Structure 1
Amino acid sequence: MKLKPYFFSFFFLFFLSVASAQQDSLLVTPEKKSKRELKREQREKEYEPYNALAPAKAAFYSAVLPGLGQAYNGSYWKIPIAYAGIGTGIAYYLHNDKEYDSYRNAYKDRLAGRPDEYEGRISTEGLIRAQELFQKNKEISILVTVGVYVLNIIDANVEAHLRQFNVDEDLSVKPGLDFDALTGKTNYGLTLNYRF
């Protein structure tokens, strides 16, 4: 029964925190404001003026160093995705380049009459086809790497634009449910709210 001291101390701390929370809620404010006024004041505190150069800065930062534009926007979780995409493209390029060089050297050795590592296993036509395959894969991996790099820049630019987009409740379209007390049916609809 060693749990009793922990049990009692836990409940003591719990009741102490509840009592302090109740004490804080009993504080009287000198002036009571409506919820609408409080929301408006909160929006005014959070309001940042529109910065027209923010998207250009984010795109420039991502062009200089991939992921830097995402850090500028505050989306740190996207940085590893950008580096994983670029790193994967580079890794595939290096692998295909190594294989291409291997088959090319074997093909040159075979044309010069020297023994090669694929002798007896792959024909000369097979060496040519392997070179073409790995050359094509190198080009595709370059395109993928450049594509991920460009997407990194576009993502930083678009996110910087969207971060400045106004999404407050003054203009909203919401689905609405209305319960009719006379008939007992529920009416569905959309409400368009626009407040000044």
Structure 2
Amino acid sequence: MKKSIILSLVFSLVLAFNVEAQSCNQGTKMAKRTWEKFGTWKPNISLIPFKSKVDKVKRAWNYIAGNRSSTIGPRYLEVDGGNETGSITGQTKRTFVTPPSFNNTMKITINKYDGRAETGVVICSHGKDGVTRTIKTYMFPNNRNGKNKVFTLTGVKGKVITVAMLNKSVANKFKYRINAK
């Protein structure tokens, strides 16, 4: 009897975890915090004050969440900031959050360069008004073949973008590089 209850609870947790990976829930809190730190979005803001505000948000973000490989929780993804790299193991997830986009389009590139875990990706936009939208979803297959996937996002000016990745494998890893342009 106890064994069946435990198995039922574990199964429920796994289902809840998998459902969450394909939604925009992971980045919502950090997007909200980013908006709180960033302040009011002005579409005609000039690039220099914008980058200054982004740097302040990034410093606050790094203080809160950090960008170390051992950090639990979302990571900051700077637009045009180069590659972030990492590894996701055993049914864990990784979430990245950008500052508000200065442009109407953005390209997110995820390069799976090692590992064989099937890994789900969901990309979402978060507006200052609290509206969250799923923009793209994708599933990296369970194989050792490297794969470079480019997601072209449109209509993202003034939106915070989150990228959540969930390793769906129990024992396999997913090694990646991610960047935003």
TM range (shorter): under 0.3
TM-score, scaled to structure 1: 0.20
User: Higher strand fraction: Structure 1 or Structure 2?
Assistant: 2
User: Higher helix fraction: Structure 1 or Structure 2?
Assistant: 1
TM-score, scaled to structure 2: 0.21
- Bigger RCO of structures 1 and 2 (CA < 8 A, at least 6 apart): 2
